[in-house]
Chains A and B, each alone.
Chain A
């Protein structure tokens, strides 16, 4: 038995050693870590581009770059952050690593396909990079690729679009894999309603991935064809309809925001019970609200198009539906709060990150309602208000949970503990930096500062400067975090198998986990968040 409990770092699924044993691995844990390496690298690139844009905006007029450079930078920043960081982030890293473990499985249903989807992701990423250097120059359409400019632009739009297509393919493959895994690989006794909520959330996400991504795939293909052959489908000069492009784009891209946020909500539902030492309140309601979000999230796409030409009836219907989709999210928030109520809360770093999330995400969510209402949206659309809103939702929401998940699962993934004191400081600095960076954008947007401009009127100078200083604090904090994690990898104390007192299956096995996850098949008798088992677990 000693041999089979060797960690997945020392034992591999193939006969190779060293780097090849990783590049050809079929182990979901190693693939999760490979995603982590790639995704964090692109995240850092995205941050650096963000910093450059903020530096340009430190004073009015041209500071360090011209308008065209700024155009390509916000486009790249958007494409990298959306397609390379935030969409794959949680499912591909933590979903890969923990979904099989949390349902008591040895691996995902299709390990080889899993590896393939990593390679497809890398190919997509390389294509993005290649599109920067080909003649024609980097793409400048904004990450939304709106027609007609994306057909007229002479930059490498087709290449970048194709990259997005390839990345979508990777996302679909991961989705298929996870759905099949959840249906077919659960350990004996692990009924659907005994699955941890992170699994539920990832499962719902996987459905959106396979239901929505094909629509963006065909839209992208159509734009590429339009650019190369001029078939007229989106070109008004030939009878086509640019608004149709916007519909098809958002039919994917709105559900995509749920691809981003649902797994994050799943992580929150894991962390809160663990640190409140109480079983989750309203388990079924949380599980079902994930599915409800996945479904209703399909019917609200046109709230991105209130000012682009639609009938009034369509506009108020979409506005109404947008308000309705806030309900299942509200259900989750109530259940989280109810879980904490009268719990014995242990404010360890992962929990503090979740608090950060609740605060930032609430601001993002509430300002979303401002944009979801017709009258206010017409005033605020395409201003900094929108920029602030989506950074609060995506970055403050999913981005923050990315860090929460890292702090929660790091000891399990690497078997090392990081410095708790440092991470408490990081939580505070992150909070300050984030709000300094983005809150002024709400005010500027309200005052009329449009998005996607490298220049601004002098009256915005103070607020823009505050925002730029905020970007330094935030980015500095993020690098500090990566710094203490790397330090922990090298010099950190050994982590125990259950440092936080969690009860889901991953805390029943050693840190880092053995290659086959479970030395003996787990027997599922308790509810996923039944903390009475903690005492037995200590004796194990």
Chain B
């Protein structure tokens, strides 16, 4: 008791995980609000949402879905490797995840920039000439996929930190809760995309 310092705080992995789950819960609610808005307007402007959705490139969307699903797999594999004590493999899988994430963002970039070059962005003349339902569809499209994109970037930053931690042996077989929590976060990012994808690209 006499040398109370940071080390005395025993590490409690159950707490760390519980905290992470609670945080993910707030993220779900954040996007939940967006899905609510989407539902309201989809209900109000059904036909125009269908029309507008046809313009989206289902090919790129599908590709991105596959990419993100694969990245979730590699994160899971990385955790499994760490559990077994294989630091090298764990790192390799994390690098793969980063590459997948990057591919996702690059695709997203091309997708958005084609849309923008066709004059389809909030406030553009072309878009404003369309009926309200389509304006809203594109508004929601940019806001929701954009917000998701920001989450992908945050996830990439988090994974970058974990990579450094593993290199420096701050995340090890004995103590890899940080890696696990980052993995959880990444799965959430993936999960949200799983919902965004059909809502924008598939239902027609």
Contacts and interface: CB of A to CB of B under 8 A. Distances in A.
Interface residues of A, number: 46
Interface string A146-180: 00000000000000000000000000100111011
Interface stretch (B105-113, B136-144, B168-176, B193-201): B136-144
B19 A219 contact: no
Nearest to B36: A248
A365 interface: no
B139 A231 contact: yes
B125 interface: no
Contact of B5 (A13, A225, A233): A13
A184 B136 contact: no
Contacts, number: 114
Contacts of A13: 4-6
Prevailing SS type, chain B contact patch? helix
A221 B147 contact: yes
B135 A239 contact: yes
B81 to A, nearest CB: 27
B122 A210 contact: no
B155 interface: no
Given A110-B19, A230-B122, A230-B123, A4 B143 contact: no
Interface in A1-35: 1, 3-4, 11, 13, 26
A3 B2 contact: yes
Nearest to B29: A214
A492 interface: no
Contacts of B203: none
B26 interface: yes
Contact of A177 (B4, B19, B33): B19
A218 B30 contact: yes
Nearest to A238: B135
A215 B30 CA distance: 6
A225 B132 contact: no
Given A221-B147, A230-B123, A109 B5 contact: no
Interface in A223-246: 225, 229-233, 238-241, 244
A183 B31 CA distance: 27
Given A13-B6, A238-B135, A4 B122 contact: no
Interface string A110-150: 11010000000000000000000000000000000000000
24 contacts: A3-B2, A13-B6, A111-B9, A175-B22, A180-B15, A184-B18, A213-B26, A214-B29, A215-B29, A215-B32, A218-B33, A221-B147, A222-B143, A225-B143, A230-B123, A233-B136, A238-B139, A239-B45, A239-B131, A240-B136, A240-B139, A241-B40, A244-B37, A248-B37
Given A111-B9, A233-B41, A244-B40, 8 more contacts: A176-B22, A184-B14, A210-B25, A218-B30, A222-B143, A238-B132, A248-B33, A515-B4
